[in-house]
Structure 1
Amino acid sequence: MIYVLAFITTLPGRRDEVLTAYRANTVPVRAEKGCIEYAALFDPVNVEETPVPLGQDSFVVVERWGDYSQFQAHLASPHVGEYGAKVKHLIAKRVIHVLSPVDTAASDA
C-alpha cells in the first residue's frame, strides 16, 4: 500500500472553485482499482489555534492506493487529465509526496 499527500495551493480566492472540480472527480477516482482513500482536507473552520495552518487558498488531498502501479494508472486516467485541465490555470503550487507506511516499507522495496 502507498499513501499520497498532494498539497495544493490555489491562486488567491480560487480554492472553492478548485474544490468544486475535485468533488466532481471523486466518484470516478474512488471507483478506480486500488483506490482505498481519496479525501480533500483543509484548515478547520472556527479553530483559533492551528499550529501550522495551510491557509485560505490551500488544501491537502490524502490518498491511499493498493500499490504504486495502481496510483500510476490513476494518474493516466482520462478523468484525472480532465480535472487537471479544468484547474491548471487556478493552481499556484502543487507538491505531491508518495509515501510507504513505515511498517511495510522494507518489505515493499
Structure 2
Amino acid sequence: MVGTFPIVAKAGPFAQKEEQLTTVPTSKSLYAEITALPGHADEVASLLSALAKEIRAEKGCVSFQVFRLVDDPNVFHVDETYYDEAAFQAHIATEHGRKFNEAIKPLVKGGKSELFFVTPVM
C-alpha cells in the first residue's frame, strides 16, 4: 500500500501506549486462514502459539494475533501487520516460519495456510 495510515501497535518493538498513535508509512497487512484436519486442531493451536512468540519478537512485526473460530474450533484466523514490505520479506525468510510451514503440512487442509493481503478502508 502506498501512503500512510494510523495504526496502534499493541506488541513488538513498535508497541505504543493506548493513547499514542504510530503512523506506519507503507505497512504490509494480511490475514491467514488455517483449517486443521480432524483431530489435529490442538496441535495446530500449539504450533501457532509458539510461532506467535517468535514473530512478535521480529523487529518489523507491528501486530500478530491468532484467533480460533467459536463455531468451528478447527479454523484459525491470524491477523498480521508488518512495518513495511522489507519487514514482511524478512519475516517470510525466517527459520521459525519455515519450520512452522513444514510442521503444519500434514495437519491442515491443503497442507498450508491461505493468505489474504488487505489494505485499510479508512
TM-score by length of 1: 0.77
Higher relative contact order (CA 8 A, sep 6+): 1
Instruction: Work out the number of aligned pairs and report it.
Output: 94
Q: Which residue of 2 aligns with 1:78?
A: 95
Q: Which residue of 2 aligns with 1:3?
A: 29
Instruction: Extract unaligned runs of 5+ from structure 2.
Output: 1-26
* Structure 2 CA distance for aligned equivalents of residues 99 and 28 of structure 1: 23
Q: Which residue of 2 aligns with 1:48?
A: none
Amino-acid identity (%): 32
Instruction: Extract unaligned runs of 5+ from structure 1.
Output: 45-52, 104-109
Q: Which residue of 1 aligns with 2:43?
A: 17
Shift of 1:72: 1.8
**Structure 1 stretches of 4+ moved >2 Å:** none
Amino acid at match of 1:8: I
**Is contact 1:2-1:101 (8 Å) kept?**
no
Bigger helix fraction: 1
CA RMSD for the aligned pairs?
A: 1.5
Q: Which residue of 2 aligns with 1:49?
A: none
C-alpha offsets along residues 4-45 of structure 1, whole Å, 9 cap, x if unaligned? Answer: 10011111121110110111122221111210111111223x
Q: Which residue of 2 aligns with 1:34?
A: 60
TM-score by length of 2: 0.69
